Structure 1
């Protein structure tokens, strides 16, 4: 397996000991001359800024070189998962319409039209989207590998209102799982997914029940995302900020895995890490695959039903690590 180089420390180690490696989204201008003198055989440069000297040396060594893509709104070679602050970089809870300026919306607008139809694009842009999703998967695998707890996925409908008692129940379930050391993962969207991310995040506070109750009360000001997406998001963002800084952030770490395929359902802000994909099929398979601690299926619609059968198929064939993931149908005897 090739070394993956995406920061200054890793680059220094490589300069001291050159070997086949993948350089990802780095500005290499200051070290281009030094690198050009090294053995570049079997190296790859993904989204890196290089000098003509290093570019020539890479060509001689038959390296794979994919240049930066400044004209697209996303980073095809992204070297880390998203966070709420990154996706909602321009969001102001006091300003209606501010979501339209956010990175998340800019990417979605490049992907689908106003009627939610995926736009036809040329193969080069399609390749960059695939590269983005591959980079997200790589970052996701690295992030999960750095954490020992098993992952429990909580699945459910996007249309569960914030003021529904089932929303609070899903949040409290996720909070208890996080308190017991599990990593809670969801599809990252509204409804039951938001509830689970919220509950897991609340587990990181010294008074989790109080913090969760206050957040639930705030969220009830915009209970349904489909009525006014902007207000739903602004109220959620305000509730997140009002929660403050968790005293035990590691306990509250959790994961959302949404998709721009359902971009009209914005990612919720309570997932501390967000692996957002273009391809929904990659997202769904990956979410089920990482949940080796079990999957809780709350009330949902056709998508949730599909996930039940998809997980059952994975379990039948023991597709991942020869492991069968426990399945729990919530509120079913």
Structure 2
């Protein structure tokens, strides 16, 4: 039998065991068996694991007596380690109010930050199991083949999370993401505010007019900072989320796209323009996963240290062909990446005599971003 099979629903359990009684190497996760009448003696158990399943006492005793490993359910957590779907903004924002934020997202962060650097064993296991299940949900969503290519033509956007709504590169990123989404590229971001929100917004607005996009950005940019002397970051405005919800109400049923944020860097309101949210506890897993999936290209708008790290992380993946393909790297801002930092020049020099050198591109034009990615598909290693 195939090893490493994960079964996480009663339907999947009965479909599998209807004709197959060998449970060797199976992981059965998060299923409630209490009301099921099952003859447990009919199965072969070898390295069979029941993880966070619900049994009555007799069932659990019998399963263990046949040699299965049974891990108990995690209790009193604000998140479900055994979830088998990605998040939605509705789930994460449940309970949100700027004056008294009681959102699910914040409750999870507050639990996480208590032992951020040294979680106890049970907490660490729960977090890792949660992130594994986010991995599994992403694999189903993206449709990976055996060579690591995805059914969806994923393009990632990176850049500063403090970029203001309505600013030059917020608008340019939204336009570039919209153009690419209209060519059936699947837009994905790090899931935060700023450039990441702009890209998810642009993808969401695919198929609508440029005037509609401009209207959406105008609504988003009308922020109330309670007359503070120093204007804080956009996501601290009282109506930051409400303005985004107004855009969703005005322009419903946008194009599907993906956000991959983390609780590691702190709490920020959820990006409501992402139809799927793959939120991780582990930032390193989250960053590696995002770049590994963006095989059709990554677009870098102006950002700071985090964006710079992601640039060289992707460069290393391209340099060594880590994920089986060389992918386009597009830099959106000549000023940022040549005049201010020389990052593009450094990377261009690093890529001399390397296959991915022809996949590097520098521009200030959202339309040229789209054209370059369309004309430069990923190259097999």
CA contact (8 A) 1:42 1:61 kept: no
SS in 2 for 1:127: helix
SS in 2 for 1:112: helix
Report the Cα distance in structure 2 between the residues aligned to 1:304 and 1:4, rounded to whole angstroms.
Answer: 35
Does residue 11 (structure 1) correspond to residue 13 (structure 2)? The answer is yes
- Corresponding residue of 1:243: 251
Deviation at 1:272, TM superposition (A): 0.7
1:209-254 Cα distance to aligned partner (Å, 9 max, x none): 34423321211123864562553233223323332234xxxxx111
Relative to the length of structure 1, the TM-score reads 0.87
33-42 or 9-18, which deviates more: 33-42
CA contact (8 A) 1:25 1:79 kept: no
Which residues of 2 match residues 1-333 of structure 1 at below 5 A?
A: 1-18=3-20, 19-20=22-23, 21-31=26-36, 33-35=38-40, 37-91=42-96, 95-98=97-100, 100-112=101-113, 118=116, 120-145=118-143, 148-203=151-206, 207-222=208-223, 225=233, 228=236, 231-246=239-254, 252-320=255-323, 322-332=324-334, 333=362
CA 1:55–1:264 in structure 2 vs 1: closer, same or farther (change >3 Å)?
same
Structure 2: gaps (5+ residues)? 145-149, 225-231, 335-361, 363-381
1:81-130 Cα distance to aligned partner (Å, 9 max, x none): 11111111223xxx5335x21110100111226xxx93643221112111
CA 1:67–1:239 in structure 2 vs 1: closer, same or farther (change >3 Å)?
farther
Structure 1: gaps (5+ residues)? 247-251
223-232 or 1-10, which deviates more: 223-232
The structure that has the greater radius of gyration is 2
Report the Cα distance in structure 1 between the residues aligned to 2:298 and 2:239, rounded to whole angstroms.
Answer: 31
CA 1:202–1:13 in structure 2 vs 1: closer, same or farther (change >3 Å)?
same
CA contact (8 A) 2:223 2:238 kept: no
Deviation at 1:202, TM superposition (A): 1.3
Report the Cα distance in structure 1 between the residues aligned to 2:133 and 2:140, rounded to whole angstroms.
Answer: 11
147-156 or 303-312, which deviates more: 147-156
CA 1:124–1:163 in structure 2 vs 1: closer, same or farther (change >3 Å)?
same
SS in 2 for 1:129: helix
CA contact (8 A) 1:81 1:274 kept: yes
Deviation at 1:37, TM superposition (A): 4.2
Aligned length: 318
Deviation at 1:292, TM superposition (A): 0.6
Report the Cα distance in structure 1 between the residues aligned to 2:118 and 2:330, rounded to whole angstroms.
Answer: 39
CA 1:73–1:174 in structure 2 vs 1: closer, same or farther (change >3 Å)?
same
CA 1:201–1:310 in structure 2 vs 1: closer, same or farther (change >3 Å)?
same
- Corresponding residue of 1:249: none
CA 1:157–1:169 in structure 2 vs 1: closer, same or farther (change >3 Å)?
same
Report the Cα distance in structure 1 between the residues aligned to 2:299 and 2:195, rounded to whole angstroms.
Answer: 11
CA contact (8 A) 2:154 2:186 kept: yes
CA 1:220–1:127 in structure 2 vs 1: closer, same or farther (change >3 Å)?
same
SS in 2 for 1:269: coil
Report the Cα distance in structure 1 between the residues aligned to 2:64 and 2:320, rounded to whole angstroms.
Answer: 44
Report the Cα distance in structure 1 between the residues aligned to 2:249 and 2:31, rounded to whole angstroms.
Answer: 32
129-138 or 19-28, which deviates more: 19-28
RMSD: 2.3
Deviation at 1:43, TM superposition (A): 2.7
